Chains A and B, each alone.
Chain A
Amino acid sequence: MNTGDSLQKKNNLTGWAFVLLAVVGIVAFYFYPMIQALLLSFKSGVGANLEFSGLSNYKRLLVDTTFRTALSNTFIYLIIQVPVMIILGLFISVLLNDSTLRFRSFFRTAIFLPCVTSLVAYSVVFKYLFAPDGMVNQFLMGLHIIGDPIQWITDPFWAKITIIIAVTWRWTGYNMIFYLSSLQNIDQSIYEAARIDGANAFTQFFKITVPLLKPIILFTSITSTIGTLQIFDEIMNITKGGPGNATMSISQYIYNLSFKYSPDFGYAATVSYSIVILIIVLSIIQFKVAGDNKNG
């Protein structure tokens, strides 16, 4: 062996040593619990009295109407809120990217600011804003848009709207930041050329901005989808899933199964795995629909 080989070997070892720490951490705190949870999902019983029950939890999942309600609620949030959030974020970021706009950094900060507030704190504030005699109702009644207060939190339909408004407020700025940063990377000469060719702002947006932002839009839509599938804090703090399960999400159902009812951790793990499967399936679909196959 020559010295070059042993140096190579040494470098490899050092590399592995650096990675090892992270690998051990990930295995211990991610993969081990994941496998434990999978095993747990085949057990049933109350609290600590768990025993293997085969597929019974998965069978129960198929006929569980509460799970179905939670699933459909979560999908309603997903279908309405993710597109609203992405379109709004895209729109605002294009406006704020205009170099002639004054107070740009103020607007950027203002729109990003909700993302740094605590989930619980903002949920509580929203709950009071949307209370029957809260500020939103008073404002709308003051403008004579509505005659009676809207039951934002105690009516099944409006409660969902309240949650969607809250989540949109919290996360739009987060997506906007991604769009803004990638907008800065688009060469201004492309727009210049387009303007010379007579393209108006509308055409520029759809023919240049959106296609060039496609990878970022894909990224934000996947992260938003994952975030929405795991939605918990807002619902727990604003509506507690009510009225009558009208706003309950899958995560909140998992919480209820583990802590609100007689603890059934086996079934709760089963429901958790349903989210895992959903996220995998939805991410694959999004990659297939929006992803650029040539770039992998």
Chain B
Amino acid sequence: MWVLMLVTVLLLSACSSGGGGKPASGGDEKTNEITVWAWDKAFNVAAMETAKEAYQKANPDVKINIIEYAQADIIQKLNTGLNSGTASGLPNVVLIEDYRSQSFLNAYPDAFKDLSSSITASDFADYKLGPTAFDGKQYGVPFDSGVAGLYYRTDLLEQAGYKAADLQDITWDDYIQIGKDVKAKTGKELLSLDPNDLGLIRMMIQTAGKWYSAEDGKTPDIANNAALKEAFITYKAMMDANIVKLHSDWSQFVANANNGSVATIPTGNWFSPSVRQEASQSGKWAIAPIPKMAGQANSVHASNLGGSSWYVMNNVPGADQAADFVAKTFGSDKQLYQDLLNNIGAIGTYKPAVDGDAYAKADEYFGGQKIFTDFANWTKEIPSVNYGINTYAIEDILVVEMQAFLNGKSIDDVLADAQKQAEAQLN
């Protein structure tokens, strides 16, 4: 019994002294096994599977394990792992959402591998470089485009008296007018929104090249942000016009699109597979450019929602092999991007791949529209903004103020209060 106890005590003391903070092992160690973490089985994981197949043709000895976790779990595991100071249990390659990447690069400066010499950053869409680079070095391999479009039901809009041409070059104000007509003629709502998610506001302000924080990515830019002010006013106008159906989670959002409750969905292109789920609506959907902001002179018909990129962990054995893997697949393989489009519908942001055949394919579900060509064209015009390190923290403040605004608080007070709160809370 004494022996057992002695062993236990020794084990425990070994545990508690282990967290000294030095990396467990260097990243240069040779290994032929690479672990990848990603979320969304049908999209990111499937894209990684495609890349794995492509890479293994030339490197059959390299074993690649792709593990699917929910995005929230990946964030949690990365944070706890990196904070404990040991790299054990962390993957070689990890997918990080663009809105969060600066926060990770800031919080754990040495945790990610500098890929500046492995990939050519200028080969990727310009707006993806802000989130993936830090301190002048390129850390992420830009992956999917979150280019936004206005998905709309051609049949419902026709009933309200609108044709495809009427949806080109419109402002958000025109969009609300369309919504009122749709509601009057068909009784359907124009769009579905989650009051906890300001994705629509994010899309609006990025069309004008603005964000919640200033260029430095840290200073909150709320009170004097004209684009944000207009976006708030537009959002309230939508609510007041009674053209919004509310949802509280993803499945309700998709259901509202699939069961014909709403006439349009302004969102990122990754929503296409969800629209396609309802086979009976084939041919009834089309995609228009995202509306622009009437009051912002530099606002364009292109924006972004979401999107993510691949990062290589520095201190996990096999870092060099992993860097080689992402560089030779997502970093340079034109054919891979064609396969991603054909098999998954994932639109990459690798410029040299855009003139491939897959991009020019007509899509029967969307009434024969060449949606990938359109998306690729809009991707080029997305204004580049620095998402900074506080996107979600500021958004949580704004969500509260938005509720106050909808309940009658003045817009200037709303933005001034949000600014004050953001300055007090963020460092």
Count the B residues whose beta carbon is within 8 Å of the partner chain — how many? 46
Contacts of A47 in B (CB 8 A): 79, 82-83, 103-104, 106-108
C-alpha spacing A245/B401, complex, angstroms: 10
Shortest CB distance A173–B (Å): 27
Chain B residues with CB under 8 Å of A64's CB are 424-425
Q: How far is the CA of A265 from the CA of B379 in the complex (A)?
A: 37
Binds A, one of B9-17, B50-58, B166-174, B332-340: B9-17
Task: Say yes or no for A240: interface residue by CB 8 A criterion.
Answer: yes
- A270 to B246 Cα, complex, angstroms: 36
- Whether B108 lies near A21 (C-beta < 8 A) is no
The contact of A153 among B106, B248, B390, B400, by CB within 8 Å, is B248
Interface assignment of B402: CB less than 8 Å from any CB of chain A: yes
**Which residues of chain B in 232-279 are interfacial with respect to chain A, using CB atoms and an 8 Å cutoff?**
246-249, 252
Question: B residues within 8 A CB of A138?
Answer: none
Flag the segment in A186-194, A214-222, A256-264 that touches B.
A256-264
**Interface membership of A69, Cβ < 8 A:** yes
Contact of B103 among A241, A246, A263 (CB under 8 A): A263
Q: Report A-chain residues with C-beta under 8 Å of the C-beta of B42.
A: none
Knowing A69-B400, A239-B248, A240-B196 are in contact, say whether A262-B5 is a contact too (CB < 8 A): no
Min Cβ gap B19→A in Å is 9
Among the stretches B298-306, B343-351, B391-399, the one at the interface with A is: B391-399
A22-53, CB < 8 A from B: 24-25, 28, 32, 44-49
Residues of B within 8 A of A65 (CB): 421
Interface contact B246-A60, CB-CB below 8 Å: no
Q: Are B103 and A46 in contact (CB under 8 A)?
A: yes
B372-427, CB < 8 A from A = 389-390, 392-393, 396-397, 399-404, 421, 424-425, 427
Q: Are B16 and A28 in contact (CB under 8 A)?
A: yes
Residues of A within 8 A of B425 (CB): 60, 64, 66
**For the complex, is A131 an interface residue (Cβ under 8 Å from B)?**
yes
The one of A20, A242, A263 that contacts B107, using a Cβ cutoff of 8 Å? A263
Q: Is the interface of B mostly helix, strand, loop or mixed?
A: helix
A154-B248, A245-B399 known; A265 vs B83 contact (CB < 8 Å): yes
Kindly state whether residue A63 has any CB partner on chain B within 8 Å: yes
Residues on the A chain within 8 Å of B248, using CB: 127, 131-132, 153-154, 239, 242
Known interface pairs A17-B5, A244-B196; A259-B402 also in contact (CB < 8 Å): no
Contact B195 A262 (CB under 8 A): no
List residues of chain B with CB within 8 A of the CB of A32.
Answer: 16
Asked if A259 contacts B196 (CB within 8 A), the reply is: no
Closest beta carbon of chain B to A277's beta carbon, Å: 21
A156 within 8 A of B: yes
Contacts of A63 in B (CB 8 A): 424
A132 and B196 contact, CB distance less than 8 A: no
Q: Tell me which residues across on chain A come within 8 A of B59, comparing CB atoms.
A: none
Q: How many A-B residue pairs have CB under 8 A?
A: 119
Point out the residues of chain B lying under 8 angstroms from A259, CB to CB. Answer: 72, 75-76, 79
Please report which residues of chain B, range 185-210, place their CB below 8 angstroms from some CB of chain A when the two chains form the complex.
Answer: 194-196
Point out the residue from A28, A60, A244 that lies within 8 Å of B195, measured CB to CB: A244
Residues of B within 8 A of A114 (CB): none
**A291 in the interface (beta carbon within 8 A):** no
What chain B residues lie within 8 Å of A286 (beta carbons)?
none
Taking the closest CB of chain A, its distance from the CB of B134, in whole angstroms, is 13
Cα A154 to Cα B103 in complex, Å, equals: 29
Closest to A156 in B: B403
CB-nearest residue of chain A to B109: A49
B389's partner among A127, A156, A242, A262 (CB-CB below 8 A) is: A262
Inter-subunit contact B79/A262 (CB<8 Å): no
CB 8 Å contact bits of A75-104 with B (1 = contact, 0 = none): 000000000000000000000000000000
Beyond A132-B252, A239-B196, A261-B390: 10 further Cβ-contacts under 8 Å? A17-B1, A46-B107, A46-B427, A47-B103, A48-B107, A64-B424, A65-B421, A66-B400, A242-B195, A259-B75
**What are 11 A-to-B residue pairs whose CB atoms are below 8 Å?**
A24-B9, A28-B15, A44-B427, A46-B103, A48-B83, A65-B421, A127-B248, A132-B246, A242-B248, A244-B195, A260-B396
User: Which of B's residues lie within 8 Å of A, judged by CB?
Assistant: 1-2, 5, 8-9, 12, 15-16, 72, 75-76, 79, 82-83, 85, 103-104, 106-109, 111, 194-196, 246-249, 252, 389-390, 392-393, 396-397, 399-404, 421, 424-425, 427
A residues at B contact (CB < 8 Å) = 17, 20-21, 24-25, 28, 32, 44-49, 60, 63-66, 69, 127, 131-132, 151, 153-154, 156, 239-246, 256, 258-265
